Each structure stands twice: as C-alpha cells, then as structure tokens.
Amino acid sequence: MVAVADVDRFEINEYLRLDMMPHFLCPGCGHGIALRALLWAVHELGIPKDRLAIVSGIGCSGRIGGYVDANTFHVTHGRPLAFATGLALARPDLEVVVITGDGDALAIGGNHLIHACRRNLKMTCLMLNNEVYGMTGGQVSPTTSQSRLTTTTPAGNLEPVFDACKLAEAAGAGLVGREVTLQTPGLKNLIKEGLQHPGFAFIEVISDCTEIYGRKNDLGNSPEMILSQKRAMRPELSDSNVVDRPFRPNALPTGVLACNERPEYGATWRAFVSAKQDGAQ
C-alpha cells in the first residue's frame, strides 16, 4: 500500500479494493456517500494508506470498511470501539477510524461508546445513523423516530429517540459533530476536523436507508429522503405544523457541536508508564 501524493486530485478508486466490487449497498443508500467523504478527508490530509486503520462492527455500516485499501478490521457486533481502543494504544502511529452504525454503537455497543468518550483516546468514530437495523432484518434501533414502522414496531415506535451527540458530549468526547450525507463537502470537512483533533472525535452521519426503512414508512426514494433530512435540520424550510417527517420533528444542529481540550488518554498512559519505569530503575 502506498500513499497518494497529489492532494489536489482525489480519485476514490485509488483508495478502494476494486476486486471487491460491485459493492453490496442498496441503491440510494447514504453509507456510500459517507465512505466517499471519509476517503476524501483522508486524501486531503495526506494520510498514507499504510497508516490508516479502519475498525468496523456488524451491520451495513460495518461492511463498508472492508472496501478500503488500508488496514481494516471487521469485528463483532458492538465491539469496534473496544478493538480500536487496544489498537490505538498499541499503535499510536496509526490513524484509527471506527465506522459503526446506530444499533452497533448505541445498543449493544453503548457501553463501549460511553467509555471511549470518557477516556478521550485519539481516534475518530463515525456513527452512520439510518435509524434502523438495515442489514439484519429492519428492527427498531435507539435512533428510530417515534411513530416509525419497523419489523419489531409494526404499529409504530413508542420509544423516544436517543441523541447520540448529546450522549457523547456528556461522556466527555474531545470533539462531537453531526452532518447529513446530502452536504458531502461539509461532511468531508467535519471528518477532517475529527481526524485532526488530538483526542476522541465522535461524528454522527445522518444517512438514509431507502429499501428497509424508507419503503416501510413511505418516505420516498433516496433524493426525497435526503431532502426531508435537510428540512428536519432546517425547519424554516418546511411547514412547522408538520411533525410526522423522517429524522425527528425538531431541528438538528450540524457541524462541530462540542469541543474540549482534555488530556489525550494514550499520551497520559504512556507518560505514566514511563515515569513508573524510571522510578523503578
């Protein structure tokens, strides 16, 4: 694997395992856009492919890391942050990126997310939020909007939505941000900020699932879904009396939502070990 030197020319094929194509994503899925934004950010920062490590879990989001021509790890459900923690501690020379989904990160993996934020170890976590367990049957997830239909909520979801960004901020993540796939250049720039942040960066990517989630809820095709997402974040663009639209009725702020300069855990840990070793001599 080699780095791509010309940062003015972004050719995504240079970052992909082309022998794995065609990809498995459904037509209109936003996860491919999220992957493009990540690789675009990696390209502009000039990160060599042999220094890029991507850890992913189970689900549609977990599958896309395998398409990247870098060091990639496909691990068990809900555990990518746990695996990535060990990797980032053992290999601080790597740029560690976790790609996870709303179910993978907030349900079975919720405890790992909390403690990754708390530790503030240098890595970037992209949580691709399409409001559903898309690959494993279309079950309700912690971010499924209220009233939405899924295979496990056939009469509509009664549970309130989990705000992952507020959780990450409260748990102490170094940088917290959110963007929708429709705003791809903005998403790329937000990921660049996450990659450059000297601590744990959590970025929620609002994606869309047209086949499993969209069809069941009559949300239209992919362009209609992502425009609806934009209206959900910009309520002035739509009828304020309409509350039954995808991706929550309330405005969702985007961009960098929180940032702090707490000590990075890896550097603190290495300094602690060094001091102990010096004291023992």
pLDDT tens for each residue of the chain, 281 residues long: 444 556 678 999 999 999 999 998 988 899 999 999 999 999 999 999 999 999 999 999 999 999 999 999 999 999 999 999 999 999 999 999 999 999 999 999 999 999 999 999 999 999 999 999 998 889 999 999 989 999 999 999 999 988 999 999 999 999 999 999 989 999 999 999 999 999 999 999 999 999 899 889 888 888 888 777 666 654 443 444 333 444 444 567 899 999 998 999 999 999 999 998 888 76
d(CA 142, CA 110): 10
Q: Are strands 71-74 and 95-101 parallel, antiparallel or unpaired?
A: unpaired
CA separation, residue 139 to residues 136, 216, 247 (Å): 7, 11, 16
- Please, what are the domains in the chain? 12-280 (3.40.50.970)
Q: What is the DSSP secondary structure assignment for residue 132, as one 8-state letter?
A: E
State the pairing for strand pair 255-259/175-180: antiparallel
The encoded tokens of residue 114 equal: 């909390």
Q: In the sheet where 71-74 sits, what is the strand order?
A: 71-74, 52-56, 95-101, 123-129, 200-206, 175-180, 255-259
Pick from 212, 261, 267: nearest CA to 29: 212
